[in-house]
Chain A
Amino acid sequence: MTGLMRYQIFEKIMDRITDELVICTIGQPCQELFKIKDRPGNFYMLGSMGMASSIGLGLAMSTGKKVVVLDGDSANVMNMGAFATMGFNAPGNLVHIIVDNEANGSTGFQPSFTARNVRLDQVAKGCSIPNVTLVDRADDISPAVAKALAADEMHTLVIKAEIGLMPGIDLLPIGPDDIRDRFMEAVGA
């Protein structure tokens, strides 16, 4: 285990982000990301749990910019077929980061499948994603993120996390139209 909570891992990731497009999974992860580093290039999901990886894939296949998906373990299990779609296409500008806290955080931290025996890094490998890294040491997070961002092949990072929330988070103050409009302007299509 990295010993870090999700928001502390997000802080390390966002320290490395410059002009990449970021898709963030639904719920408290969006609230944490908004507080850490709000920017037009962040797409905050307000619904459709599980769709972050799919949205990121379609975006990466349509733009030359780097796309980073901030995903959760339970969201991934909910849309596990997306691993196949991602592995089948594997765009080189896609970085899929699963912060695995082994729990359904936004609904009360019920233990998730990965808390017992499900291995999402193995699912990613089985779907032929070209670079898959399981990160379970805090010191390895920043180098792994930097390597994935610099690469020209798709990477999946599964980063192990402790349960817990960032203090002081709240519902997002912006709605779906604003999120979409400023994100599309950041994409620049």
Chain B
Amino acid sequence: MTPTDQLYQRLRSNGLDFFASVPCKLLDGLLKRLGDDDDIIYTPVSREEDGVGVLAGAYMAGRRPALVMQNSGFGNSVNAVCSLLNYYGVPVIFVISHRGSPGEPVAAQNVMGDAVAGIMAASGVRAVSIGHPDQLQQIDAEITAAFAEGRSLGLLLPFSFWEA
């Protein structure tokens, strides 16, 4: 199985059933699978903060929501992450392609690539980097804990994950 296939199956086996997305080249295959999945609700969103709002609404209707996005977009969502998700105890799983990680061909991506972990920490969102598809099993406990505790979780997926 490709890294994309393994990721998709792991997200679904964890019961995630409402996905919103902002595209990234690394996420192309995952977004196609989500679009073909009739058992979930899936929509593209205009930007990451819009997605945070959409998914907060979905959670309050009993869904298990995830936002699929590139790391650069986390900066677009910080106010809603803090004053909506964190303040109300609404969990969203952020599935993040980590541009600017080792192997990045576009130099401009390095700026937010280096900054994102610190921004997530300052925003109170636990971030877990999954460097290889073999490490995907560890997200089961992370996702379970996030929903149990009503807090959001970031899964950072660097180039080493996608190129494995």
Contacts and interface: CB of A to CB of B under 8 A. Distances in A.
Interface size class on chain B is 20 to 34
Given A187-B60, A187-B61, A189-B62, A51 B46 contact: no
Contacts of B51: 54
* Interface core residue of B50, B56, B82 (most chain A CB under 10 Å): B50
Interface in B38-71: 41, 43-47, 49-63, 65
Contacts of B62: 62, 184, 187, 189
A47 B78 CA distance: 12
B147 to A, nearest CB: 14
Interface stretch (B6-14, B83-91, B109-117, B133-141): B83-91
A53 B50 CA distance: 9
B83 A55 contact: no
Interface residues of A, number: 36
Interface stretch (A29-37, A102-110, A116-124, A175-183): A175-183
Contacts of A189: 60-63
A95 interface: no
Interface in B94-125: none
B142 to A, nearest CB: 22
A48 B60 contact: no
Interface in A134-189: 176-177, 179-180, 183-184, 187, 189
Nearest to A78: B49
Q: For the complex, would chain A's binding face be called helix, strand, loop or mixed by DSSP majority? A: helix
Contacts of B82: 47
A51 B88 contact: no
B80 interface: yes
Contacts of B58: 58-59, 61-62
16 contacts: A47-B83, A47-B87, A48-B80, A50-B53, A54-B56, A55-B56, A56-B57, A57-B54, A58-B56, A58-B57, A62-B62, A81-B46, A82-B53, A85-B44, A177-B88, A189-B63
Interface of A: 23, 43, 45-63, 79, 81-82, 84-85, 88-89, 176-177, 179-180, 183-184, 187, 189
